[in-house]
Amino acid sequence: MTRWATAAGVAAAVLAAAVSVGVLTGAARGERTQRGEVIVSLDGGISPLKLPRDHLAPLAIHLSGDIRTADGSLLPRVTRIEIGLPVQGAVSTRGLPKCPARRLRNTKPPQALAACGGALIGRGNLTAKVFLPEQGPFEIHARLLLFNSRVDGYRGVVLQAYSSEPPIVVVLPFTLRHRRGTFGRVLVADLPKDLGPRPRLASFEMTLFRRYRYRGESRSYLNASCPIPPRLTAGFLTLARAAYTLSDGRQIGVEITRGCRGA
Amino acid sequence: MGRAVFLVMIALATGTAAAAEAPTRDEYVPRLEAICKPDALATERVSKGAKADIRAERFAVAARKFAKATAIYSSTVKRMGAVPRPEGDEAKLGKWFAYLERQVSYLKQITAKLRQDDPIQAQRLTARFIHNGNLANNVVLAFGFDYCSFKFSRYG
């Protein structure tokens, strides 16, 4: 690993830690949107903040979000998740190993990493609330591992969520789609029906970051610039959008804008 | 005495009419969304490429786009303000409209600074514009606005 990669890795870890502290203390919840009783929030940031003005450079993106209800009622069931990333960035997968979803089924994280560590592009955590009839709700805390993959013939990401208590493994494939507009790269996942109606997504946090070498060249999964004129020292990135489709057909989304500095 | 009774009756009648006019929150939101939707889409159209223009230092071109967006937004806020507000939400909506007026002012100032070839001030004002927009959204979170809520991605 190069010195730069080490520095970027440390920066990503510091960013993740800082945001995790924020999440744990409930300090910052980022931007919020409400539809009916459902409130979704999204927060996040990039590391490093300082990016080249005229060419792409590697970066880490940290995102955290949650779903709640204004009146504390039962969380809605999410049937589709979409994570939109800005069109001015780039996702590079050339030369990056791919991990098919089937390799991750019924595996614990160490086995998943042994099978697909070369394709790892991110980590995180997820909380789901499980509502059982005639019982109080309980929470499932799962570790997330995200791997580069090919899904239905398209570039994609396979997410593995592992909980030790109770022991559950969920493997969720996201396809990377291209759309018009600000958030031109969208990771889309349909939540499988076999998850059942009981578990409801409550919150997540993830950091996407991966440096790798291909044909002697150092590359990064995520790349972006801070394209601002020479006279400016800082600019804005419309960083991400999280959109959810609920089981009743309603859609709810929230987007965040964050600053960057020109190198 | 007779005149006083007449005035009281007029006042009561006016009050009753006003109460009858006041929509519920469920009626108010779609009324405002119907105003905001075409304007939000028009803002997206006229602002297209504004950020790229700023990057390329085409400040006069960006200023023209922001000027069009400002005119649209200013008119939107004016028409939104004319809609009768639900009873009990007046204070919250009053606060929201104060934020929206500030958004109009920021857009005007950003346009002026871009015209004056002063991107540094325009950028500082943009930071305030984004922050103020997020504060505005938080005030009316429970209303569930879509097109009437602030989204920075609409501006190019």
Domain extent for B86: 24-154
User: What average pLDDT is seen over chain A?
Assistant: 87
Task: Decide if B130 touches A, using CB distance below 8 A.
Answer: yes
Q: Is residue B1 part of a domain?
A: no
Nearest to A255 among B57, B127, B153 (CB): B153
Q: Is residue A166 part of a domain?
A: yes
**Contact yes or no for B141 and A32 at CB 8 A:** yes
Question: What local confidence, expressed as pLDDT, does residue A40 receive?
Answer: 96
Q: With beta carbons less than 8 A apart as the criterion, state whether A237 and A258 touch.
A: yes
Decide: residue A156, CB within 10 A, 0-12 exposed, 13-18 middle, 19+ buried.
buried
Cα gap A206→A15, rounded to integer Å: 11
**Interface confidence (ipTM) of the complex:** 0.79
Q: Radius of gyration of chain A from Cα atoms? A: 18
Q: How confident is the model at residue B2 (pLDDT cuts 50, 70, 90)?
A: low
pTM of the model: 0.84
Of the candidates A94, A134, A91, A98, the residue with the CA atom closest to the CA atom of residue A119: A98
Task: Decide if B141 touches A, using CB distance below 8 A.
Answer: yes
Q: What does the pLDDT look like over A47-91, one tens digit per residue?
A: 999 999 989 999 999 999 999 999 988 899 999 999 999 877 889
Instruction: Calculate ∠ Cα A44-A68-A35, nearest 5°.
Output: 95
A105 or A19, which is more confident: A105
Q: What does the pLDDT look like over A196-231, one tens digit per residue?
A: 778 899 999 999 999 999 999 999 999 999 989 888
Q: Is residue A30 part of a domain?
A: yes
Cα gap B74→A162, rounded to integer Å: 50
- Counting residues of chain A whose pLDDT is more than 70, the rounded percentage is 89
**Contact yes or no for B153 and A228 at CB 8 A:** no
Q: Is residue A85 part of a domain?
A: yes
Of the candidates B66, B39, B49, the residue with the CA atom closest to the CA atom of residue B146: B39
Q: Is residue A135 part of a domain?
A: no
Domain extent for A216: 3-130+140-262
Cα gap A142→A163, rounded to integer Å: 4
Q: Is residue B10 part of a domain?
A: no
Q: Radius of gyration of chain B from Cα atoms? A: 20
DSSP string, A149-208: EEETTEEEEEEEEEEETTEEEEEEEEEEEE-SSS--EEEEEEPPGGG-SSEEEEEEEEEE
Q: Is residue A200 part of a domain?
A: yes
Q: Is residue B98 part of a domain?
A: yes
Q: Is residue B15 part of a domain?
A: no
Instruction: Calculate ∠ Cα A72-A73-A76, nearest 5°.
Output: 115
Q: What does the pLDDT look like over A21-59, one tens digit per residue?
A: 443 333 347 999 999 999 999 999 999 999 999 899 999
The number of distinct structural domains making up chain B is 1
Q: What does the pLDDT look like over B135-144, one tens digit per residue?
A: 999 999 999 9
Q: Is residue B19 part of a domain?
A: no
- Is it the case that residue A17 has pLDDT exceeding 60? no
Residue with tokens 């979704």: A40
Q: Is residue A215 part of a domain?
A: yes
Question: What local confidence, expressed as pLDDT, does residue B22 receive?
Answer: 86
CA torsion sign, B28 to B34 to A239 to A104? positive
Cα gap B30→A33, rounded to integer Å: 16
Cβ-Cβ contacts under 8 Å between A and B: the total is 50
Residue with tokens 């960006």: B62
Q: Is residue A191 part of a domain?
A: yes
Q: How confident is the model at residue B4 (pLDDT cuts 50, 70, 90)?
A: low
Interface of A with B (CB under 8 A): 31-36, 39, 70, 181-183, 227-229, 231-232, 234-236, 238, 241, 255, 257, 259
The number of distinct structural domains making up chain A is 1
Task: Decide if B41 touches A, using CB distance below 8 A.
Answer: no
Task: Decide if B74 touches A, using CB distance below 8 A.
Answer: no
